[in-house]
Structure 1
Amino acid sequence: MEDVYDPAALAQLRSRLETARVARGINQTELARAARLGRTTVSRALSSGAPGPSADTVGALGRALRLDVSVLLGLLDTAYGRGSAATADTGALGSPIHMWDPHDLEVHFAVEAPTIGSGPSGGKDRSWQGRAGKLPAYVRRPHDEHLATVVEAADEGHSGMAVLVGSSSTGKTRACWEAVQPLAALGWRLWHPFDPTRADAALADLHRVEQRTVVWLNDAQQYLGGESGEQIAAAIHRLLTDVSRSPVLVLATLWPEYQNDYMALPHPGSPDPHPQARALLAGRLMTMPDRFDHIALNQARVLAVTGDRQLAHALQHTDSGRLTQFLAGAPELLRRYGTADPPVRALLEVAMDARRLGAGLHLPVGFLEQAVDDYLSDDEYDDLADNWLDQAFADVTSPVHGRLAPLRRVRPRPARRFSGMEAAPSHSYRLADYLEQHGRRNRARLCPPESFWQAARDHLAPESLINLAEAARIRHRFYWAERLAQQAADSGNADAIAQLAEIRRANGAWQEADQLLQQAADAGSTIALIRLARIRQKAGLSEEAEVLAQRAADAGDTRGLGQLAEIHEVYGNRKKAEELAIRSAAAGDTGPLVRLAEMRELAGATHGAERLGQLAAKAGDTTALVRLAAIRETGGPAARNEAQRLYQRAGRVGNASALARLAAERETSGRREEAEQLARRAAHAGQSFALVRLAEMREVAGAHEEAEKLAQQAIGAGHRFALIRIAAIREAAGDLKGAERLYMQAAASGNPTAVARLAEVKVAAGEPEEAEELARKAAESGNPSAAARLADMREAAGDQKGAEELARLAADAGDVSAFTRLAEMRELTGNLEGAVLLARQAAQRGSTAALVRMAEMREAAGDLEGAEGLARLAADTGDTHAMARVAVMREIAGDRRQADQLARIAADAGNPSALTRLEKLRKGQTVD
């Protein structure tokens, strides 16, 4: 380093570091380990007789000691006469990477291993826990090598993006943090857009990102999933392709379910909600395994033996390979949830339901307080203390370790002058990621009670209400679907008005739906404009459709360009259609090119179709080539050869579906080595089913060991059902022992379907008690599938009492459908009383499907009185479709007054189709 210009500043820097070390009660060796520096480096940094430390060393020591790094770097700059470069506001987004704390970038706090005698007093050193918790040593895995290539390319001047896809607490964010460390030494900056919201920050400032900046998009669904998601995806695309700002690096993390949503191709003629996100993510996804493989586990054991106590602690407490989940506190979170008192459990289930159905990340306290009521049984509610809610919030926000708590309070920031936003009216809470995923998985079939919907209407923002209205609609809670959408629409949200229109249209009120869509369009909803354009096009009003689609395009929605392209294609103006599709692709949405290619292929214009497919491929979307190939496969030998050529072309540029098809073709033709290579490439590109299909083909051919190896590889690539499919083939071939072994392997990894299949094998092997014990244990851990399947088998065998007990077990674990199936089976065998009993039990748990099905069966059998009674029971729980059915029955019975009354009630509850059906009946028309 240069000569010291201000020795006092260097002495002050060292004094601050040494004082903090002493206050922590740790020696220099422990500090070196915490800072991930050499022992000699730390000694020289703190020694007054040694040369001054580097900025990287100061940053590492400051973070380990939880000091203000910017102040320390300011002292270092003063000491060497460089000015305060570390603290000066250069106007560039973000901060130097070395100044970031990984926990501020949402790397999970890791479980601290129990320690005795490490503190100054000889007891546990609690000052070293909480915010001061250090990260365990990092174990590199195959995805790290792939990530490193993207980082190296950025260092060499090429902009790039990588998206790590994996379940909660699998190490995605930590992997990104480790990957950017080489760039920290080279002076790169890191920008984490999050204020006032993540999406708002990204949308406002992506155009300001400068060279040598890492854009940090942790939980990328927060950026790509909202109403601004497509604009953000397009802005990132522009950033990556803007040579004047190169190099930049975009790192993102994503859960698998969001990856599936964004990458799913729409059906022809259906809306395409994520074309820009799909094009952006294509070829940039990296799958994170849920667990460490044997190589990574061995590396972790070596690090544990050489002194990493956190890894040693994790290895002692989990044998499933899920080290990152354990270190992030997942087992303790689940234990806290599973053993919680009723009020605490109820609060967590409200939060789980809200998040899985589409509410925002931060849940207002008022919503939680109001929604929780119906999550408690009458007995539980009667037993509550006067201050039960305060106690429940105190319990549920108590940290597991560090900052990780089941529910974490999010304090509202004060109003900011530049944001134009007011301070939040009350504080909110955020559910822990791992519990959120647990809720999505284990409560997927449950419908929230009345208090949930009312609280949502009273407290949640319009963006959340739009999602919850759709969730209510698909769960047949039409009353709440209409009211939630109406509440959002009343706030002036144009997209909410468009959604309300769709609810009206589904209920048969087409004229009102059109009026609402027009209102939404006038208020600026491009969704409404595009829906109106499609409606006008189907009605043959091409000029009106074109005007509407053009308005959407002019407003910046590329779906408008796509709709215009389709309109011109349908009416024979192919040149104009191509121009529009190419414009859309240039803006980041290749969907119109793909759709035009399909339309021309189906019309017999194969040359034009392939040319459009190649244009889409050049824009980064190879799905058109795959779709064209799939269409040609249905033709003769020559067409099938053409299909293979297209698959090869798509495979060469990494299309996973094409690689999977080529792998299957090579396996069929006996070229096994090529097949495996192609399947692995497909799996790496996100199509793990290629390995599964290969494993199935090997299993059928009798190569059992090879099949199992491929299935294990598929599981490592993210396909949880690989072993189950191989086991099913063995089971069908009569090898029950072999099937059982594979089912047990899959069950041990937490696959609920495997538990159900294993229970069935036990029954087939004459071991029903073992089967029931499996089902019971699985249900107690939140997995209802085995109990539900055994309930069906018991009912078919005539054991109604046993079937009902198992169905209740399944329902308590989250699967009410078992009651519905048993009810139908009893109805068919003439046990009408038993059928009604089960249907009512299902209704008590939130599902009216059984009552409605029983009503339909009795109506078909001519028992109109019995049908009406059951339909009334369903209507009493809020099912407006059942109420509409009762209105029709009353009309048929000649009771017009009551028919009108019931139809109006149903219409007021959001289902105007009841009135439409009565009108048809009175005109002598048939109704469903």
Structure 2
Amino acid sequence: MNGPRGQSDRQQSLVLLRSILSDRLASARMSRTLLAARAGLGRTTVHEALRTDGNVPSAETVAALATALGLPETQRRELLELRRSATDLATAPETAPGRPIRTWDPHVLEVHPASTADDSPQTQPGYVRRAHDEVLANAVHAAQNGLSRMLVLVGSSSTGKTRACWEAVQPLSDSGWRLWHPADPTRSEAAVTGIGRVGPHTVVWLNEAQHYLGNPTTGEHIAAALHTLLNDPDRAPVLVLGTLWQEYADRYATLPEPDGTDPYSRVRELLAYRTLNVPDTFPSGALAAAAALAGAGDELLADALTRAAAHGRLAQELAGAPELLRRFEHGAPRTRALLKAAMDARRLGVGLHQPQDFLVTAATGYLDEHEWEELPLDWGEAALANATRRVHGKLAPLRRIDPRRTHRPLGWPAPGTQAGLSEAAGLVSSFRLADYLDQHGRAIRWRLCPPASFWWAAYAHLDSPDDLDRLAEAAEDRYRMEWASMLRNRAVYLRAGGGLTGAAQDKEQGGAPQEAGRTATDDTDAGLGPALARLRAQTESWKGAEILYRQAAEAGYTASRTELARLREQHGDLKGAEALVQRAAVAAHGTVVAELTRLGEQGGDTKGTDALYRQVAEAGYAAALTELARAHGQELDPAGVFARQAVDAGYHAALTEAGRMRELHGDMKGARGIYREVAATGDATALAELARLDEHAGPREAIEFPRQLAAAESTLPHPPS
């Protein structure tokens, strides 16, 4: 009822409510100041409740005024019913987004469902307030008094941020406020199109606000629109509530370099003085309050307190985080492999939803030889079934996201699919990693480099150019230059709507490379790149392949020069091959270092190879300095000059390599000194080397590094071989 009739009914209810209160106030010959004192309310609250054009008073305010004025119980109930009839009619325009708060299920708003050991059906546990709840309550009180406010709760996953926001808005629910959760078709799109239509008395719900404010395309627009909303008196009061992980809050708050870009300037301005930290643990007072609720019969709190009493992480226990962690740490190798692949994908930039084929293909490299040999044929499906099994019936390490089927004429391709390596048609399930495991993976795997199967799976099965660009950057940071180039090339294909033609791909995979090459003959754009070139090479049309490789190199796929060099070498043109590798080296393409070494050895040109190593290093590929030192032995770098230059240039494994070279030349003291220097920075690889050297050194040489190593894992990436 948002039309004129609805507004008229609402006005009549408010007029009658205020008339009863005002008449009683007059007959009692009581001032508003005295009424406020007797009711335990502020003067502004009483004035707003009785003002003819004021906001609808809260149920608590009406009840307090009725009691202070001495109204009988029947009239008190009448006043509360009048207030409810007024608030049942929306105060926002008909097109305004959102609906009454009391109609929302908190789980739909992503309040974590609680877990119980026996998996019995339960409601939400009793709520235990902490310090941040008082700040939230103040913001809600300001909103009730007509002022727009915004707060974003910052903290780790499963610490109670979203539940705190839900509990905070309940007084607004009693006052008839609406709540809008921008989510459809995507969070950012909904926010962009809807913020301008938000009306008064609306809670804007931005759970996991990074999906709105961190969007590279729309984040700044959303921040600007929220800033306008909060400062628009015609739409006041509104309350904007959000949640963020600490890493995102830090990212948005960080000032850019003087000569760098500033992708979060409006976001930083919006969040200034509007964030609120939520601790990981409950203080002793809050735990005591939880214990009191448990003693009064709250089984959920009682169950969680059996585990949380010692460490205080009550919210995580309620959300099932420990069981998620147990499933990851003690699961079958195939399940752990899937989860490690999903963790690495998220921390390196892949979106929330990861395709099934990507996960299964990537997981193969996380298994050792014995584990791989023991796998059944259907291991992928079995591992996914185990990873999607719910914890205590509520959460799961991986959650299956099945796309809605699109109905279209037979023979037509699915919208948005790419020919070639992506699925050509049909529906592909995706999976979302549990937030707690996502954050846990970022904490424990931040220095680990994924195996080759991960990069190949991304190249073969991911179809988001933005995801591929982020992975390419991550690959480059870890000296996986070949993969970086391939992933970037794939992103270019997808943005152009191209890729290897479906017919050629089908024939290649069907074992007919010659026919595939003929099918692709007319597709000579550089966008098809090395894929077509390889097909040409398979048909023994190496001159045609050379043309395509050159086109790909000019389009930015620098690895094509190395592939072309190998093609020339196969046909006896060693000098031409070396020239091509030199050009790639000067372009700082890391994978050519091994090619330079091999071709230099074949040609006997050691001096020329040294010069090329130095050119590569000067062009930005710092690992070449270490390769140069390794090529000549320790004598060329007795003081570790090359190694330290490489470290300064960004290749942190160089000093460890220098230590190994000193070992090879019998300088154990020098090697140990270098390992100690690197190990002091927390590098687990150097810790391992030092523990190995000191294993037989005796009590005098015993140190704490081996014990540190027990909690570490080999971490630093190495250049591809």
TM-score by length of 1: 0.44
Which structure has the higher relative contact order (CA within 8 Å, separation 6+)? 2
| CA displacement, residues 395-430 of structure 1 (integer Å, 9 cap, x when unaligned) | 11000023300001112235699xx98799422111
Secondary structure in structure 1 of the residue aligned to 2:403: coil
486, 491, 500: which one aligns with 1:488: 491
203, 216, 219: which one aligns with 1:229: 219
Q: Which residue number corresponds to residue 553 of structure 1?
A: none
Q: 1:238 to 1:174 in 2, by over 3 A?
A: same
Q: Which residue number corresponds to residue 505 of structure 2?
A: none
316, 321, 324: which one aligns with 2:315: 324
Q: For the Cα contact (< 8 Å) 1:444–1:814, is it kept in 2?
A: no
Q: For the Cα contact (< 8 Å) 1:463–1:488, is it kept in 2?
A: yes
Q: Which residue number corresponds to residue 568 of structure 2?
A: none
Q: For the Cα contact (< 8 Å) 2:405–2:427, is it kept in 1?
A: no
1:670-819 superposed matches below 5 A:
794=691, 799=696, 815-817=713-715
Q: Which residue number corresponds to residue 284 of structure 1?
A: 274
Shift of 1:374: 0.9
Among the aligned pairs, what percent are the same residue?
Answer: 50
1:495-514 superposed matches below 5 A:
none
Q: Which residue number corresponds to residue 462 of structure 1?
A: 465
The amino acid of 1:100's aligned partner reads: W
The amino acid of 1:446's aligned partner reads: L
Q: For the Cα contact (< 8 Å) 2:684–2:713, is it kept in 1?
A: no
Q: For the Cα contact (< 8 Å) 2:252–2:264, is it kept in 1?
A: yes
1:19-30 superposed matches below 5 A:
none
The amino acid of 1:182's aligned partner reads: P
Alpha-carbon RMSD across the aligned residues, in angstroms, is 3.8
Q: Which residue number corresponds to residue 210 of structure 1?
A: 199
1:482-561 superposed matches below 5 A:
482-492=485-495
Secondary structure in structure 2 of the residue aligned to 1:167: coil
Q: Which residue number corresponds to residue 302 of structure 2?
A: 312
Q: Which residue number corresponds to residue 562 of structure 1?
A: none
Shift of 1:486: 2.1
| More helix as a share of residues | 1
Q: 1:797 to 1:411 in 2, by over 3 A?
A: closer
Q: 1:431 to 1:808 in 2, by over 3 A?
A: farther
Matched, 1:144 2:133: yes
Alignment length, in residue pairs?
446
369, 373, 387: which one aligns with 2:364: 373
Shift of 1:247: 1.4
Q: Which residue number corresponds to residue 391 of structure 2?
A: 400
CA distance in 2, matches of 1:808, 1:480: 34
CA distance in 1, matches of 2:407, 2:249: 34
Q: Which residue number corresponds to residue 294 of structure 1?
A: 284
| CA displacement, residues 49-74 of structure 1 (integer Å, 9 cap, x when unaligned) | xxxxxxx9xxxxxxxxxxxxxxxxxx
Q: For the Cα contact (< 8 Å) 1:791–1:804, is it kept in 2?
A: no
Q: Which residue number corresponds to residue 722 of structure 1?
A: none
The amino acid of 2:171's aligned partner reads: P
The amino acid of 2:274's aligned partner reads: R
CA distance in 2, matches of 1:426, 1:201: 25
Matched, 1:106 2:97: no
CA distance in 1, matches of 2:245, 2:197: 28
Q: 1:813 to 1:225 in 2, by over 3 A?
A: farther
Q: 1:395 to 1:160 in 2, by over 3 A?
A: same
1:2-41 superposed matches below 5 A:
none
Shift of 1:451: 1.1
| CA displacement, residues 26-49 of structure 1 (integer Å, 9 cap, x when unaligned) | xxxxxxxxxxxxxxxxxxxxxxxx
CA distance in 2, matches of 1:112, 1:282: 39
Q: Which residue number corresponds to residue 193 of structure 1?
A: 182
CA distance in 2, matches of 1:453, 1:486: 13
Matched, 1:95 2:99: yes
CA distance in 2, matches of 1:328, 1:335: 14
Matched, 1:360 2:364: no
CA distance in 1, matches of 2:554, 2:363: 37
238, 262, 270: which one aligns with 2:260: 270
Matched, 1:255 2:257: no
CA distance in 1, matches of 2:453, 2:142: 53
Shift of 1:789: 8.4
Shift of 1:339: 0.9
Q: Which residue number corresponds to residue 431 of structure 1?
A: 433
The amino acid of 2:354's aligned partner reads: L
Q: 1:229 to 1:203 in 2, by over 3 A?
A: same
For structure 2, the 5+ residue unaligned runs are 1-58, 60-80, 409-413, 418-425, 498-526, 528-551, 557-680
Shift of 1:92: 2.7
Shift of 1:322: 0.3
Q: 1:480 to 1:814 in 2, by over 3 A?
A: farther
Q: 1:452 to 1:797 in 2, by over 3 A?
A: closer
| CA displacement, residues 456-511 of structure 1 (integer Å, 9 cap, x when unaligned) | 122221121122111111111111222212222222279xxxxx9xxxxxxxxxxx
CA distance in 1, matches of 2:154, 2:378: 42
CA distance in 2, matches of 1:480, 1:96: 51
154, 166, 178: which one aligns with 2:167: 178
Q: For the Cα contact (< 8 Å) 1:788–1:806, is it kept in 2?
A: no
Q: Which residue number corresponds to residue 907 of structure 1?
A: none
Matched, 1:445 2:463: no
CA distance in 1, matches of 2:682, 2:181: 41
CA distance in 2, matches of 1:320, 1:149: 29
Q: Which residue number corresponds to residue 238 of structure 1?
A: 228
Q: For the Cα contact (< 8 Å) 1:110–1:135, is it kept in 2?
A: yes
Secondary structure in structure 1 of the residue aligned to 2:432: strand
140, 162, 171: which one aligns with 2:151: 162
1:762-911 superposed matches below 5 A:
794=691, 799=696, 815-817=713-715, 847-848=717-718, 875-876=720-721
| CA displacement, residues 764-785 of structure 1 (integer Å, 9 cap, x when unaligned) | xxxxxxxxxxxxxxxxxxxx96
Secondary structure in structure 2 of the residue aligned to 1:405: coil
Q: For the Cα contact (< 8 Å) 2:93–2:199, is it kept in 1?
A: no
Larger radius of gyration: 2
The amino acid of 2:403's aligned partner reads: P
Secondary structure in structure 2 of the residue aligned to 1:102: coil
| CA displacement, residues 256-279 of structure 1 (integer Å, 9 cap, x when unaligned) | 011111100112111212111111
TM-score by length of 2: 0.57
CA distance in 1, matches of 2:134, 2:391: 33
331, 335, 352: which one aligns with 1:340: 331
CA distance in 2, matches of 1:816, 1:789: 9
